[in-house]
Amino acid sequence: MNDKDLMRAALAVAQQASASGDVPVGAVIVNSSGEIVATGHNERELNIDPTAHAEIVAIRKAAQALGQWRLEDHTIVVTLEPCPMCAGAIAQSRISTLVFGAWDEKGGAVGSVWDVIRDPRALNKLEVRGGVLEEECSAMLKEFIQGVRKKD
């Protein structure tokens, strides 16, 4: 699968978050053969857990499925630019490649506000590709936010 196909899979996972009132962000982790080994969506509201971002959920599931925390030679595809916590977790898990959709101009940590992953002092270097299906990813988030504002 290519980046766009994988992002479409992440968008499908993101839709599941809305059922619990969570912001629709989705993530998929694939191995070097392109097989999806884990998925995750935001579960902060569902689990009353501030760390339950899509990336963290997917990383935890992948580590459990593989029986190891090192996710070398794996790619994470996420619909929104990771925050500092998630960028750190991606680096710590040794994931090789990060692909994301929408930029997060308020809290992104892969180029928008900070660049945790590509900081020259970072120990783990990984490839980053941003803006994949950016319009679709942004539209899903905007639709959710507009729905929340209508309720308030």
Task: Say if residue 137 carries a ligand binding annotation.
Answer: no
Please indicate whether residue 35 is annotated as part of the active site.
no
Closest CA to 77 of 17, 6, 139: 6
Q: Is 69 helix (H, G, I), strand (E, B) or coil?
A: coil
> Could you please report the per-residue DSSP string of 101-136?
EE--TTT-TBTTS-BTTT-TT-SS--EEE--TTHHH
What is the distance, to the nearest Å, from the Cα of residue 44 to the centroid of all Cα atoms in its chain? Answer: 14
- Rounded to an integer, what distance in angstroms lies between the CA atom of residue 52 and that of residue 119? 25
Of 43, 45, 55, 136, which is the active-site residue? 55
Residues annotated as part of the active site? 55
Give the residue numbers of the binding site for Zn(2+).
53, 83, 86
Give the residue numbers of the binding site.
53, 83, 86
